[in-house]
Structure 1
Amino acid sequence: MAYNFFPMIARMKYINRWGLMRNTQAENIQEHSHMVAVLAHALAVIQNRYYGGQVDPGAVAVAALYHDASEILTGDMPTPIKYDNPDIQNAYKAVESVAEQKLLSMLPEDLRADYDEIITIPDPEVHALVKAADKLSAYLKCVEELKAGNAEFKKAKEQTYAALCQNPIPALKYFMDHFLEGFELTLDELN
């Protein structure tokens, strides 16, 4: 019997983000998930090294790679709509859950348990780090667009930065204090 989980995951590259905004460079959920995985891994390492965390950075990175996988089936719902009111947010979470279960059903039954925690992210610490990295990735997209002269992302950058500043995860604050400035630099300035 053939299973379609991995062919579906490969379709992440066809789902674009930021659908309500003009982009100088399109970003799909596959690219986004890679960056979220890099950032989530870094946050987990920082959390463990400096703040007494006990989370597995590899597990956090893998969860981040799959954190938007349900969007293969649902599409990317823009943040202003998704979080506009509690009814929409709850309805979207229910749709997301159905999509996650549909994806898991595309695996052999004896592999489903191995992917369930990766797709659904039930561990609260892993989930919090992935969500922080997801928001951080959104902020970095805003920075990139503004560097390219796209003022469309000005308000999104401000709102996303404010949300990041409200996040209580100490590793996120550390990352912002020590690494965020570099994303504003040009390649020549980075060298």
Structure 2
Amino acid sequence: MKKLIVLLLASCYLLIISGCGSTDTSDSTADNPLYYTYSASSFALEVPNDWETISQFTSDYPQNTLVAFRNNLKDLSFIANVNIVANAVNKGMNNGDYALEMLQTHSENLIDYRLIEKQEIEILINEQSTPTYLNYFEGRNSVDSDILEFVQVYGVNNQIGYIVTATFLPEEDNFIVENAVHVVKSLELK
């Protein structure tokens, strides 16, 4: 099930990006001591201090997964998580177009797909505030799998499309959901 989630969200039909360069982690952010900044050469995210960082992947993960973070409170059936993937995109593609393209892909590939909410937000790209979409949706990867909720934000920089995805069960604890959404909304592209 985990493999299907990651594969779906990775949109593997695009060029696979194999790495993201060096990474750096900073101590708790000045604004919120519950998070630290995970920084790579092309992006940064604010991650809960107590979440596990996954940077070495098994074959269950597509090669374009840059990093993943997993909640430390592990439910027996599913562990809330956040991942970031990178895909080559066509020249001229912007954040909004990329978001709409990915929503269309999800609506075609997820069973029982339902768009819950679409918000316009801004993320930093090259230190400039840039509009994008934050999408909440749900669906199943197969007829016998649980319904999962997803929160995604999209950013395009230098013909690379980045997708940060939080995935959790609909009945997940609100604190865990808030942490996952915080990570997604904190995307900064360099």
Report the structure, 1 or 2, having the larger strand content. Answer: 2
- Whether these two folds match at TM > 0.5 is no
Structure 1-normalised TM-score? 0.30
Structure 2-normalised TM-score? 0.30
Larger radius of gyration, structure 1 or 2?
A: 1
Higher RCO (Cα < 8 Å, 6 or more apart): 1
